[in-house]
Amino acid sequence: MLRLKWKSVAKIVATILAVYLCIHYWPNISGLLSKLLSAAAPVAIGLAVAYAVNILMSFYERHYFPKANKKSVLRSRRPVCMIGALLTLLGIIALVIGLIAPQLVKCIIMLINEIPPAIEKLIPKLEQIGIVPDDIITSLSTINWKDRIGDIVTAVTSGLGGAFDVAYSAVSSVFTGVVNIVIGIIFAIYLLIEKDKLISQFKRLLKRLVPEQKAQKFTYVWAEISDCFHDFIVGQCTEAVILGVLCMLGMFILQIPYAPMIGALMGFTALIPIVGGLIGAGIGAFLILMESPVKALIFIIFVIILQQIEGNLIYPKVVGKSLGLPGIWVLAAVTVGGGVMGIGGMLIGVPLTAAAYRLLKAYVNKQEASAIPPEQEQAPATETNS
């Protein structure tokens, strides 16, 4: 008994000492943690890529000669399906960029050319209304807006003062990001090739380090989290494709410009829960406004109708039903996740909240079932027999 007490005291003292050291040396510890997180960025990217690719790769493996028993087929199944999944994702990314980038550049150029005439037309209207003071109207009228916009574009593209430092920083960050992505993809390929062996080794290690009951609980929690992420990714991608195709087809029917680009943009931004469609619609309406205000108004009305269909029919059937998460918790997850980690937090927050909701619901149901006395459970059967 005394030995156990000394162990408890030692744990308490160690915990207090660790908390004190963390508080006292927090600047050094935070710097070390930031360096570790920066160094672990390729690993995190690799894990995320491997998880996403594994969903598609597993689908291909189930359909790659499923009844064949030849060794050549069994050996080729993993690499062929992995390459097919990677090429599929790269093809989708290239298609989206190919649809969006050229039209977006064209719209930016058109926007730069249209701003000066729009300002020149706006100044007489402001003068007629009489809201803006006369001296400001006079100063605005004397400005050559076309030259000013050109100067602004030149300043943005070429840079002013410290341009070398800015360019060096930008190139350095881009290069670091590209290197991290490349290393992450290589790490993901190794994970996908050796996933069965790694899973087996992890299970064996878990059994050695953790008691069997706790190992089963950990496996159950991890399975729920993995299922929620799988259902969310599949459902969100399916919903994004449906929304993007419907948006593009509707714009073609209504003869609204930039249909392929805005359809791809709507599908891409729809990957962000709840607010993604609104972001895509806002950007699309602004781009169409440069071409035709009437078409922009028609597009806004069309998107409102499409959002209602998507929110009430498509999303609940495709994503909401698979996750089993009420809408209020989806909104809370998006709000909190976006505030903490931005768009990445929105994407991670929903499946994590769904997993927590499932685990908490299972725990409550189990507690309620264990709280019912056995005689109450047998009462209906007794009444039936009587």
Query: Which of 4-8, 109-113, 352-356 has the highest average model confidence (pLDDT)?
Result: 352-356
Task: Answer yes or no: are the C-beta atoms of 191 and 43 closer than 8 Å.
Answer: no
369: its two tokens: 């079932």
Distances (CA, A) of 72 to 60, 77, 78, 195: 17, 9, 11, 20
The total of other beta-carbon atoms located within 10 Å of residue 311's CB is: 14
Task: Answer yes or no: are the C-beta atoms of 326 and 312 closer than 8 Å.
Answer: no
Task: Specify burial of residue 300 (Cβ count, 10 A radius: 0-12, 13-18, 19+).
Answer: middle
pLDDT tens per residue across span 209-243: 888 888 888 888 888 888 888 888 888 888 888 88
Q: From CA 307, how far away is CA 127, in angstroms rounded?
A: 40
Q: From CA 284, how far away is CA 289, in angstroms rounded?
A: 9
Domain extent listing, the chain: 41-209, 211-365
Apex 285 CA angle, 340 and 304, nearest 5 = 80
The total of other beta-carbon atoms located within 10 Å of residue 248's CB is: 22
97: its two tokens: 């960029």
Q: Is 140 helix (H, G, I), strand (E, B) or coil?
A: helix
The total of other beta-carbon atoms located within 10 Å of residue 349's CB is: 23
Q: From CA 341, how far away is CA 51, in angstroms rounded?
A: 20
Stretch among 149-158, 198-207, 320-329 having the lowest mean pLDDT = 149-158
Farthest-apart Cα atoms in the chain, separation: 99
Q: Which residues contact residue 290 at a Cβ distance below 8 angstroms, ignoring those fewer than 6 apart?
A: 107, 110, 111, 114
Provide the b/e sequence for 254-287 (b: ≥16 CB within 10 Å): eebbbbebbbbbbbbbbbbbbbbbebbbebbbeb
pLDDT tens per residue across span 46-71: 888 898 889 889 888 888 888 877 88
Q: Is 132 helix (H, G, I), strand (E, B) or coil?
A: coil
pLDDT tens per residue across span 70-85: 888 888 888 899 999 9
Q: Which residues contact residue 197 at a Cβ distance below 8 angstroms, ignoring those fewer than 6 apart?
A: none
pLDDT at residue 249 in the model: 92
Residue 372 above 70 pLDDT?
Answer: no
Residue 269 above 80 pLDDT?
Answer: yes
